[in-house]
Amino acid sequence: MQPLRIAVLGMVDGNGHPYSWSAMFNNYDQVVMADCPYPAIPAYLAKEPKEKLQIPGASVTHIWTDDPKDAEHVAKASLIPHIVSRPEDVIGHVDAVMITTDKGYEHVERCRPFVEAGLPIFVDKPLVDNEPDLRQFQRWVRDGARIMSSSCMRYCKEFMPYRTSIHSLGQLRYTSITTCKSWERYGIHALESIYPILGPGFLSAQNVGTKERNIVLFKHRTHGDVAVIAIEDLYGSHGLLQLCGTSASATVNSQDTFYSFKTQLEAFIGYLHTGERPFPFSETEELMRMVIAGIRSREEGGRIVPLEEIAAD
């Protein structure tokens, strides 16, 4: 079977995914990658044995970035053979695209040409940050578009035991999870860390914080109170999970970024090969309602926002 041809499209401030995700398919040039503007990327790539670095069954063959100079450097660092002058130029030359930007309000327009061309799409988190765009993606998926979006934190290996079972904790009464940076761009990292553990059933959100310090309190139908914290400069405490139950508690910190990213991308390649989603799109829909409810509550002075208020299409 010929490897799938993937296009990496888009690069925005604060997000180096074109470097790292492409390297996980193609391998990379160590000398050029050393000049990556995100030093954490060459650091965690260098920790991986070469024989375990790459994802089989696909390669990144094309790249476009918002600033053409970025595309030139990423292509050299991550061994991408083709740079295109417009994103749409990859249509007819690739089997799928990855939108490697994390500003949710841009994603409808970034995805539109590829939905219309019938190409499968992986969209970096969050898929959206507003209700009209959520409705558009719902329509596209309902009409058969192959769109997948997730945070890498869904695949955090340190949290996996609690995805398997939380019975030893008794009944959960309180859960908390942290992230750095903004709610709009990074809140989904925290939300998708806990969602596979707690499952669907989130009822409401109340953001009692500020734009730089988001303290978002959720109610879950089964698992009680959930605090999701997104503070701009909380770099030293990103991905700290706390599960508090009636019988026991657990505190876990995410550590292996490479594993989370690679497993996420492997899930997308599996979807391309089999046509079977690794998780239902309904989970993404609920997560996006949670993102939107957190923004709406903050903008409305901490009002409790029922998730059912974020209407489905």
Structure pTM? 0.96
CB atoms closer than 10 angstroms to residue 92: 8
Classify burial at 205, counting beta carbons within 10 Å of its beta carbon; exposed 0-12, middle 13-18, buried 19 or more: buried
Give which of 313, 275, 297 is closest to 230, Cα–Cα: 297
Write out pLDDT tens, residues 236-252. 999 999 999 999 999 99
> Closest Cα partner for 154 from 279, 277, 6, 19?
279
For all residues of the chain together, what is the average pLDDT? Answer: 97
Q: Is the pLDDT of residue 122 over 80?
A: yes
Could you give the 3-state DSSP secondary structure of residue 245? strand
Cα 103 from Cα 129, distance rounded (Å):
8
pLDDT at residue number 313? 64
Q: DSSP secondary-structure letter at 89? A: G
pLDDT digits (tens, 9 = 90+) for 26-39: 999 999 999 999 99
Distance from C-alpha of 188 to C-alpha of 295, rounded to nearest angstrom: 12
Q: List pLDDT tens digits, range 265-285.
A: 999 999 999 999 999 999 999
Q: Is the peptide bond before 37 cis (omega within 30 degrees of 0)?
A: no
Q: Which of 157, 148, 143, 129 is nearest to 6 (CA)?
A: 148
Please report which residue ranges of 152-280 form alpha helices under DSSP H.
Answer: 160-164, 183-198, 257-274
Q: Which two tokens stand for residue 253?
A: 């910190």
Summarize pLDDT for 127-182 with one digit per residue, the tens.
999 999 999 999 999 999 999 999 999 999 999 999 999 999 999 999 999 999 99
pLDDT score for 2: 84
133-140: list long-range contacts, CB under 8 Å, 24+ apart. 133/104, 133/105, 133/107, 133/108, 134/285, 134/288, 134/289, 134/292, 134/310, 134/313, 135/311, 135/312, 135/313, 136/108, 137/107, 137/108, 137/111, 138/285, 138/312, 138/313, 139/313, 140/111, 140/115
Output the CA–CA distances (angstroms, integers) from residue 202 to 100, 207, 223, 226, 249, in the order listed: 28, 15, 9, 9, 21
Q: How far apart are CA 118 and CA 146, in angstroms?
A: 8
Tokens of 203: 């009822």
Predicted confidence (pLDDT) per residue in 71-102, tens digit:
999 999 999 999 999 999 999 999 999 999 99
Per-residue pLDDT averaged across 118-131, rounded? 98
Q: Which of 47-51, 143-147, 207-211, 231-235 is predicted with the least confidence, judged by mean pLDDT?
A: 47-51
Backbone dihedral angles phi then psi of residue 115, each to the nearest 5 degrees? -60, -45
Contact 182, 126 (CB under 8 A): no
- Residue 290 and residue 284: Cα distance in Å, rounded? 10
Whole-number Å distance between alpha carbons of 79 and 73:
10
